[in-house]
Amino acid sequence: MCMVIKMKKEKNIINSFKYAFEGIFTALKAEKNMKIHFIIMILVIILGIILKISRIEWIICIILFGFVISLELVNTAIENTVDLITQEKHPKAKIAKDVAAGAVLIAAITAVVVGLIIFLNKI
């Protein structure tokens, strides 16, 4: 009995990862901004390799990649949930979507500023 419960928990964990990766790939396929963030991330990685940024600078870049991409995923979830609930123009629906988009914008601006601080003195 205990082995069955353990196998079921392991399957649930595997499914959780599977669904999470499906969400990432769905957003990457469907969302233009997600594609832009991924392209910029790849370009920053290439530039980081070429310019031989330090370990600390890599850590900062990786944290910022996760920060921006995660917020873009949350923004996509909020937008889709609002669209599922109502197709009407509603002031609260607009606020939810605009605030979520604003969060991504703040994260992206932060990433650009930090990126400039890291990369400008190396060019």
DSSP string, the chain: -HHHHHHHHHHHHHHHHHHHHHHHHHHHHH-HHHHHHHHHHHHHHHHHHHHT--HHHHHHHHHHHHHHHHHHHHHHHHHHHHHHH--S--HHHHHHHHHHHHHHHHHHHHHHHHHHHHHGGG-
User: Rounded mean pLDDT of the chain?
Assistant: 91
When divided into structural domains, the chain yields a total of 2
Q: What domain range includes position 2?
A: 1-30
CATH number for the domain that contains residue 80: 1.10.287.3610
Report whether 78 contacts 39 (CB < 8 A).
no
103 shares its domain with 63: yes
**Rounded percentage of the chain residues whose pLDDT exceeds 70:** 91
51 shares its domain with 99: yes
53 shares its domain with 85: yes
45 shares its domain with 96: yes
Question: Which one of the listed residues 10, 22, 72, 79 is annotated catalytic?
Answer: 72
Res 8 pLDDT > 70: no
Report whether 111 contacts 68 (CB < 8 A).
yes
109 shares its domain with 97: yes
37 shares its domain with 94: yes
Q: Specify the long-range contacts of residues 43-50, CB closer than 8 Å, at least 24 apart.
A: 44/115, 47/119
pLDDT of residue 12: 83
pLDDT in tens, 25-84: 999 999 999 999 999 999 999 999 999 999 999 999 999 999 999 999 999 999 999 999
**72 belongs to the catalytic site:** yes
Instruction: Tell me which residue has tokens 């990457």.
Output: 28
pTM, full prediction: 0.84
40 shares its domain with 98: yes
Residue 7: pLDDT band by 50, 70, 90 thresholds?
Answer: low
- What is the mean predicted confidence (pLDDT) over 101-119? 97
